[in-house]
Chain A
Amino acid sequence: DAKTTQPPSMDCAEGRAANLPCNHSTISGNEYVYWYRQIHSQGPQYIIHGLKNNETNEMASLIITEDRKSSTLILPHATLRDTAVYYCIVETGGYQKVTFGTGTKLQVIP
């Protein structure tokens, strides 16, 4: 599996956009970028995924660079309920194990 690198922590003011970066310089052509988040003491929740095009859903936007070596998850208007650990993972989505790193702890500040 490709390895991802994320900053351990970030702060964001409530109401502002939260931009969470992820480096995945060894990503393969058939690997997708997935984002999940985990609120304290709960199971992780899927947010969004993409291959090479930018994606948007009701929760967030995903921007993937043209060379696919990095991506950014954007929460357009962060709220206190967005305080969580955000995980970026890359995988093919096939019959294989799925591994998580340590993620980015996002703190939304009032």
Chain B
Amino acid sequence: DGGITQSPKYLFRKEGQNVTLSCEQNLNHDAMYWYRQDPGQGLRLIYYSQIVNDFQKGDIAEGYSVSREKKESFPLTVTSAQKNPTAFYLCASSTMTGRREKLFFGSGTQLSVL
């Protein structure tokens, strides 16, 4: 079945450590997105990518980095510069046929600081 796979489901980060969250999609979608969700809050956009080898900052990009070397993959690195990384991270994708269609979301990664 087509979909978006996020891994791992739970991740723990030590102080000063960089961690990478994986997001893979087999929907052949052009656009991919990363969101952060804090408890009881809505989704805030971190980065998004409309095409391979191109990506743009969202509203809260500081302390994060991404790459888009392959159409199906959009990994997110939470760097040591992100001082409050504990949150639920969601990856999404969508197709761009004339206009962008609905977003498909993965099941999320819960990141916690040790």
Q: Please give the residue numbers on chain A whose beta carbons come within 8 Å of chain B beta carbons, in ascending order.
A: 34, 36, 41-46, 49, 87, 92-95, 97-103
Residue of B nearest to A44 (CB): B105
- Interface size class of chain B, counting residues whose CB lies under 8 Å from the partner chain: 20 to 34
- A42 contacts across to B, CB distance below 8 A: 107-108
The number of residue pairs between A and B whose CB atoms lie closer than 8 Å in the complex comes to 59
What is the CB-to-nearest-CB distance from A24 to chain B, in angstroms, rounded to a whole number? 15
Q: Do A98 and B103 touch (CB < 8 A)?
A: yes
- Of the candidates A34, A43, A97, A102, the one whose C-beta lies within 8 Å of that of B90 is A43
Q: Do B42 and A101 touch (CB < 8 A)?
A: yes
Q: Do B48 and A97 touch (CB < 8 A)?
A: yes
- A87 contacts across to B, CB distance below 8 A: 42-43
Q: Do A94 and B100 touch (CB < 8 A)?
A: yes
Interface string of B30-50 (1 = CB under 8 A from A): 000101000001111100101
**Complex Cα gap A16–B96 (Å):** 37
Q: Do B99 and A92 touch (CB < 8 A)?
A: yes
Is B62 part of the contact surface with A, judged by Cβ < 8 Å? no
Residue of B nearest to A105 (CB): B40
| Residues 92-114 of B at the A interface (beta carbon under 8 Å) | 92, 96, 99-108, 110
What is the CB-to-nearest-CB distance from A6 to chain B, in angstroms, rounded to a whole number? 10
- B90 contacts across to A, CB distance below 8 A: 43-44
